[in-house]
Amino acid sequence: MTAMDELSRAAGAPWAARGSMFSQPGLARPVAWATAHDLDRLRASHARGRLGKPLVPTSVASPRLGDELFARLLTYGTPQETHRGDVLFRPGDENVDLIVVDRGSVEVVRTETADVPAATVAAVDAGGFVGELNLLTGQNVYLLCRVREGGTVYRVPPERLRQLMANDVELSDIVFKALIARRELLQRSTAAQAMEIVGADRSAAALALRTYAARQRLIHLWFDADTPAGRAMMESSGLTEDDLPAVVLPGATLKQATPGALAEKLGLSYRRSSTKPVDVTIVGAGPAGLAAAVYGASEGLDTVLLDAVGTGGQAAASSRIENYFGFPFGLSGADLTGRAVLQALKFGAQLASPCQAVKLNTDRKGDLLRLHLQGGEVIDSKAVVIATGARYRALPLERWPDFEGAGIYYAATELEARGCTGSPVTVVGGANSAGQAALYLAGRGSEVSLVVRGPDIAAEMSAYLVDRLQAHPRVTVRCRSEVTRLDGGDFLEEVGITDRTAGTAQVQPCSGLFCFIGAEPATSWLTGIAAGDDGFIRTDVQLTDDDLGPAWATLGRRPLPFETSIPGVFAVGDVHSGSMKRVAAATGEGASAIASVHKAIATLA
Ligand SMILES: Cc1cc2nc3c(=O)[nH]c(=O)nc-3n(C[C@H](O)[C@H](O)[C@H](O)COP(=O)(O)OP(=O)(O)OC[C@H]3O[C@@H](n4cnc5c(N)ncnc54)[C@H](O)[C@@H]3O)c2cc1C
């Protein structure tokens, strides 16, 4: 008897009476998702440390809709008669519909891959609906939906789902929370086996792939190729070391996989179905760009948000932000920006990554600005918001590029720190980001050398961090010092630290060098926009008459707040000249710029 059959027999149980088996609190009563044994095995062997606290209680995964609400949900869909065995969607399908079950029942199945047999992950009865977060992200389907008992389903296409989200607050709240809860539950279930990533634990290419998967909240399992489980998975999938990192999906294996190739396969690259120009394209999905997307989309603008790497920006590299308004106990940057991503999706913003902007045509074609993407696509929009932030500087040392991602990191989160737990590490930099990283790594059992070039750690760092660092038994602060040498094989193993006061050099073991030594604006792709000597973009009152070309005379107005020297192009967050380089400031600027975008679009019309 299968788990699903057992569930059918349990139909008298209150949680199964009407609706879907998504309604179980998943981990507590996991029968619809996987056996308890499977879940324990998955959590213990692969998912450790990756599964954060759910954003919404998993109990909301399958809401019980009252008759009136259910009838309202049906009005968004189109009816379809079904028969046992009909397939309603299958892995790889694009732009799938939300499926509302009016009569009969359906099941959701993870199809077999090279190393795992098929498994049913959920069953949905009359009164419930099938769908999870990819209905909003645009990700291709990775599961199969099949009719168990014939009847009637209503298909709600993506466009109608967006209307529901925008127009019906009560229904949208219930559906949206259910989609998020299902994503959380599926990530913890055998459904995660629908996408398996395998690679060397400390390889830069594997780290890039895992960072992308984590930031996109992709349902997946990670296998370290150096473990017995990893080797077994590689063998059953026919993979060799030369193929790593690799991604195994139903019916497809990506060898030497990159975030770009994975995004392409999953349908998360930029694609536009409408031929209409976009109202506002936002380049960069850090806090500033995300805030602009949330406010733009929620205020009815057709909004596209792109990021060259993945959503979250620098903030996603912060393990703990303590100075963000309203969060007295702090929160991780990934949590904060993850919530913002969901908010932007809920309001209908289109997100695409990895998706790099390579050029902006600053001479408007008619009323439109043309943005060029790597890969050749173009996006025509009425306004563009530049929120590309800043890039971390590197040290000019021999072998630095060899160790980037293989012992040298510009972030200190679970993903980077994992390979260094309990081993000695070096943090370089004297500002808050370096202080936070040092404390985080010391908290994970590493002996931390904090290397600061200046004479005094308190010069650039907040007092609360300085006090904690000085009191921490595993942190050694080394002022007037510099890292002057790197050594290792495939991975960083040792660093040389020179003490400029004593004139001595010391070589010490180092499994991770975390570098936070300031940043440069990510503007190399832009030309023709007024910037300061340091390259950061100037806007509104920072612009002089000399910066403003003839286009402004025709428009008959001065630049609006956050508007650059090019009409309709805005700059917000860290990329903006004189910005505060803080999350709160970046989100404030992103949100405020949307008021100017509205005005600019109105003056162009
Ligand atoms: C480790 C660390 C800890 C920090 N801690 C704190 C803290 O505790 N409190 C605090 O207030 N601030 C903190 N900060 C600073 C804060 O994260 C930044 O000020 C904030 O993220 C800036 O947001 P942003 O959106 O302007 O830019 P970013 O966060 O830098 O985001 C820019 C985004 O643009 C993308 N991009 C760049 N070029 C392109 C292109 N050509 N095409 C498409 N996309 C592109 C990038 O991939 C990136 O995702 C910390 C930073 C770090 C690194």
On the question of pLDDT at 41 being above 50, the answer is: no
**pLDDT reported for residue 387:** 98
Q: What is the mean pLDDT of the chain?
A: 87
Give CA separation, 439 vs 219, 406, 436, 457, 542, in Å. Answer: 30, 21, 5, 14, 38
CA distance 502 to 100: 73
CB atoms within 10 A of CB 67: 8
Cα–Cα nearest to 61, from 217, 174, 192:
174
**pLDDT reported for residue 1:** 40
On the question of pLDDT at 477 being above 50, the answer is: yes
**pLDDT reported for residue 365:** 67
CA distance 48 to 438: 23
**pLDDT reported for residue 3:** 41
Lowest-confidence region among 33-42, 241-250, 578-587: 33-42
On the question of pLDDT at 541 being above 90, the answer is: yes
- What is the CA(574)–ligand 1 centre distance, in A? 7
Q: What percent of the chain has pLDDT over 90?
A: 63
More confident residue, 188 or 47: 188
CA distance 404 to 561: 38
Residue of the CA atom closest to atom 17 of ligand 1: 315
On the question of pLDDT at 236 being above 50, the answer is: yes
What's the gap between Cα 123 and its chain centre? 29
On the question of pLDDT at 353 being above 50, the answer is: yes
Q: Which residues of 24-55 are buried (b: 16+ CB within 10 A; e: fewer)?
A: bebbeebebbbeeebbeebeebbbeebeeebb
- What is the CA(219)–ligand 1 centre distance, in A? 25
Place 35 in a pLDDT band, splitting at 50, 70 and 90: very low
Give mean pLDDT, residues 513-537: 93
- What is the CA(391)–ligand 1 centre distance, in A? 8
CB atoms within 10 A of CB 456: 12
Length of the chain: 605
Please, are residues 547 and 529 in contact by the beta-carbon 8 Å criterion? no
**pLDDT reported for residue 506:** 95
The residue whose CB lies within 8 Å of the most ligand 1 atoms, and thus the one to mutate among 583, 587, 589, 592, is 583
More confident residue, 321 or 282: 282
Q: CB under 6 Å to ligand 1: residues?
A: 283-289, 306-309, 313-315, 317-318, 321, 323, 356-357, 387-390, 411, 432-433, 436-437, 522, 525, 573-575, 581-584, 586
Cα–Cα nearest to 566, from 369, 315, 322, 380:
369
The residue whose CB lies within 8 Å of the most ligand 1 atoms, and thus the one to mutate among 216, 282, 306, 318, is 318
221 phi and psi, to 5 degrees?
A: -120, 145
Residue 574 is given by DSSP the state G
Place 320 in a pLDDT band, splitting at 50, 70 and 90: confident
On the question of pLDDT at 455 being above 70, the answer is: yes
Place 215 in a pLDDT band, splitting at 50, 70 and 90: confident
Give the tens place of pLDDT for each residue, 436-445: 999 999 999 9
- What is the CA(287)–ligand 1 centre distance, in A? 7
CB atoms within 10 A of CB 354: 23
**pLDDT reported for residue 540:** 97
Lowest-confidence region among 89-103, 298-312, 378-392, 398-412: 398-412
CB atoms within 10 A of CB 580: 13
Q: What percent of the chain has pLDDT over 70?
A: 90
Lowest-confidence region among 9-18, 169-178, 274-283, 457-466: 9-18
Please, are residues 92 and 139 in contact by the beta-carbon 8 Å criterion? no
- What is the CA(393)–ligand 1 centre distance, in A? 13
On the question of pLDDT at 598 being above 90, the answer is: yes
**pLDDT reported for residue 499:** 96
H or E element in which residue 150 lies: strand 144-156
CA distance 104 to 154: 12
**pLDDT reported for residue 273:** 66
Cα–Cα nearest to 154, from 128, 176, 175, 174:
128
**pLDDT reported for residue 47:** 38
Beta-strand pair 129-130/98-110: antiparallel
Please, are residues 474 and 442 in contact by the beta-carbon 8 Å criterion? yes
